[in-house]
Structure 1
């Protein structure tokens, strides 16, 4: 299994979660659409050549973003990451993917 953690602005929280769930993420036993989420603040500065969804090139941007965590089976990782990239509004969505031990 893997754990996916991604960051998304509130405007796209539900559509991105839905896309990841539809790709197989968030299943634990006899439950689906399982995740944990918390609101925080992200920051970034778009560099030359970027096409930012928020902010302006060369200027530091701070924005409220949701951190969403969920698990998925190994075989679902490629489809889940592809769905995340398609549904996410950012040119470069920030996410972590961790392999989990099965104890």
Structure 2
């Protein structure tokens, strides 16, 4: 099973970090494929535009490289889309990330 675990707490060593580490370790110990993200450590900006608050499939494309890449992880984790749909989504995220970083 593929599981996404996300942490959004700015203080390393916090109780939230301890819970995050324990959850990730437990899931991996049970054989899960864990995609773990410490959003603050990744410098993820926690602000969303109104159109970004819809579901992953219906929300407009992100204008932020990190948002675009995180959407790919979420999209691949929570949907049963075809390989072609996932490939198209990933290609679009890569295109956006490349354009933003250029």
Q: Which has the higher strand share?
A: 1
Greater RCO between the two (CA within 8 Å, min separation 6)? 1
Q: TM-score, normalization: structure 1?
A: 0.28
Q: TM-score, normalization: structure 2?
A: 0.28
Q: Which has the higher helix share?
A: 2
